[in-house]
Amino acid sequence: MNKRILAVLLVLVVAASGCINTHRIEDTRVSMNTDVTITVMHPDVSEADRAIGCAFAEVYRIEHLMSCTEEGSEVTRLNKNGSLRNASSDLLYVVTKSVGYSELTGGSFDITVLPVINLWKERMRAGSPPTDDEINETLELVNYKNITIRNGSISFSQGSMGVTLGGIAKGYAIDRAIEVLKEQHIEHALVNAGGDIRAMGSRTEDEPWNVALRNPKNRTEYITVLNLCDMSVATSGNYERYFSEEARASHIIDPKTGYATDELLSATIIAESAADADALATAVFVLGEVDGMELVERMDRVEGLIITHDRRILRSSGFGEFEDRGMS
């Protein structure tokens, strides 16, 4: 899957004290190339443990469907054959939503960017960045409009295309984990997958979940603390170089240019679903300061915080409503 590094503004869940007769049950496991932590506030420890186990099983199921590197996954088969009949409802939903975000952002979010990502990986392994001609030639394969979704099938209209769901699948897995927890009669929980977070209910009867956004340049400090209740947050950023310093390339490629984006240090998005926050964080990071914030401002129930390359911190008009002024 697209290895979008979210260590960039890592999100730290602030420790919470429980209510009377309510226990804090937590488990951390590895999935989707990152630590996934599920925290539940519940009066019955054994019920909570079972629910957390079911939620992790769902996360693993989504990972096995949507990995672009795991042999036999639906995405791997789609990329190999150029089409996939009888795709799962999960994959159909995520690909459809991805195409919708491509349309919304004018192609700044595009899951068909995989060939360009692979080109960079191959060339940097060989010791030098790709040439402009190689990038431009590979960009011919990048176009979300060449994805067709019809009658339960997904297909590409051009050979050698490929998709990566790294900018949205992690968020979707979190959403599915929350739905499974609901089915298990859990009302208060928080799922954190490498910095993508969704909060359900609250951490105590009277207090929301607190999530701290770490300073990307100093991991011992935080930018602000968020109060979340039935909302999600995701951060996309460029603190670590993914290919090499020489190529000035990060792990997030602009699907329009074929090069890494470097206008921002990070983009944090608050939205109702983790899939939306995940995709929008990637899109805003690619769009940059002006276009990215304009996108956030015209969307309902979406807020954002941007850190520019020169360390300016910009907030959308409603971002402050989620900040804990007593802790930030």
Give the sheet arrangement for strand 209-215, strand by strand.
11-13, 209-215, 218-228
Locate the domains of the chain by residue range: 21-68+166-194, 79-156, 208-327
64 token code pair: 């096995």
Q: In this predicted structure, what is the pLDDT of residue 241?
A: 38
Q: In this predicted structure, what is the pLDDT of residue 275?
A: 98
Nearest to 322 by CA among 237, 160, 180, 197: 197
Query: Which residue ranges of the chain lie beneath pLDDT 70?
Result: 1-20, 238-251, 327-328
CATH of 21-68+166-194, one of 3.10.520.10, 3.40.50.11540, 3.40.50.2000, 3.20.20.140: 3.10.520.10
Tell me how far apart the alpha carbons of residues 141 and 235 are, in angstroms, rounded to a whole number.
Answer: 28
Q: In this predicted structure, what is the pLDDT of residue 325?
A: 80
Rg of the chain in Å (alpha carbons)? 20
Q: In this predicted structure, what is the pLDDT of residue 239?
A: 56
Q: In this predicted structure, what is the pLDDT of residue 251?
A: 62
Which residue has tokens 């208060």?
Answer: 188
Helix (H, G, I), strand (E, B) or coil at 117: helix
- Do 208-327 and 21-68+166-194 have the same topology in CATH? yes
Cα angle value 29/33/39 (rounded, 5°): 30
pLDDT tens digits for 250-296? Answer: 468 999 999 988 899 999 999 999 999 999 999 999 999 999 999 99
Maximum pairwise Cα distance, the chain: 65
168 token code pair: 């949205």
Tell me how far apart the alpha carbons of residues 101 and 111 are, in angstroms, rounded to a whole number.
Answer: 10
DSSP state, 18?
P
What number does CATH give the domain 79-156? 1.10.3980.10
Q: In this predicted structure, what is the pLDDT of residue 151?
A: 97
Query: Are the C-beta atoms of 217 and 27 separated by less than 8 Å?
Result: no
Tell me how far apart the alpha carbons of residues 198 and 171 are, in angstroms, rounded to a whole number.
Answer: 8
Look at the domain 208-327 and name its fold.
T-fold (3.10.520)
- Between helices 132-139 and 114-125, what is the axis angle to 10°? 150
Q: In this predicted structure, what is the pLDDT of residue 37?
A: 98
Q: In this predicted structure, what is the pLDDT of residue 208?
A: 96
CA distances from 310 to 132, 224, 263, 266, 306 (A): 27, 18, 9, 11, 11
